[in-house]
Amino acid sequence: MSTLTLTRPERVGHPLRDTAIVLGRELKPVLRDPFSVVFSMIQPLFFLALFAPLLSGVTGLGAGSSLQWFVPGIVVMSCLFGASMTGSNLLMEMQTGSHERTLVSPLSRSSLLLGRALKEIVPVVVQAVIVVAVVAPTSFEVHPLGILVGLLMLSVFCVGLGSLSYALALAAKGQDWIFWTVQQTFLFPVLLLAGMLLPIDGGPEWLRTLSKANPLTYIVDAMRGLFAGTYDVGQLLAGTVAALVVCALGLAVGLRSMRAAD
């Protein structure tokens, strides 16, 4: 006598709706912990107050005030720190079993990745607004359109970097030290080689060559042009392409890692 086993077909979620659900879920803990939110907003101001005065008289900053050169770098740095930490939240969820519960939900796999990556855009935008508001009464010139376009470009990069961080967390499952070692090993060289805090133009040839191989360098250069209101087509194109390449690479690696982890 044979037995017929019926299985319920898996419901396929709608990617946009599911991404919004995951994004809302990721933002709730942030909104419930105002201290961490306030501290993360103040952190870029500390860099601005302690580091910007050291740039007076430094060559290679281009036309305009040192703040006009430094502020876009601080905004990109905030994005770099926040997006590269996306995987840390996933590590905690895997430890508590929360991640496994989301995997058996009808949410699409891509939404789990995109929702977490998009979450990091919110504090970056808020930090950028606060920093610009603080420096607006000084010699810094505010160009709203350039700032808006720059933040859109940075958001694309943020999704790609967040996805790579997500994939790193999946690869380091059960060995959290691997995630932190890799993240810290690559974070500061990428930051310094992009010329966020100091100009690279006056450095040795090998340093400038490494800087040109860093996609973030082109994003930082484009951000500085946009924040200054110059809208250089070559800079804008190079920064957009760099952001799109990082985004495409991050999503491809992240989605592949999720399928491999199932």
Each residue of 84-108: pLDDT tens digit? 888 888 888 787 777 777 777 777 7
Nearest CA-CA partner of 225 in 126, 153, 135, 120:
153
How far is 66 from 78, CA to CA, in rounded Å? Answer: 19
Each residue of 186-217: pLDDT tens digit? 898 999 899 888 888 878 899 999 999 999 99
Nearest CA-CA partner of 85 in 23, 189, 166:
166
Q: Are 98 and 105 in contact (CB under 8 A)?
A: no
CA torsion sign for 164, 165, 166, 168 is positive
| pLDDT by 10s per residue, the chain, length 262 | 444 443 433 445 577 788 888 888 877 776 676 666 667 677 788 888 888 777 776 666 766 678 888 899 999 998 898 888 888 888 887 877 777 777 777 777 778 788 888 887 888 888 888 888 888 888 888 999 999 999 999 999 999 998 999 899 988 887 888 999 999 898 989 998 998 888 888 788 999 999 999 999 999 999 999 999 888 899 999 999 999 999 999 999 988 887 776 6
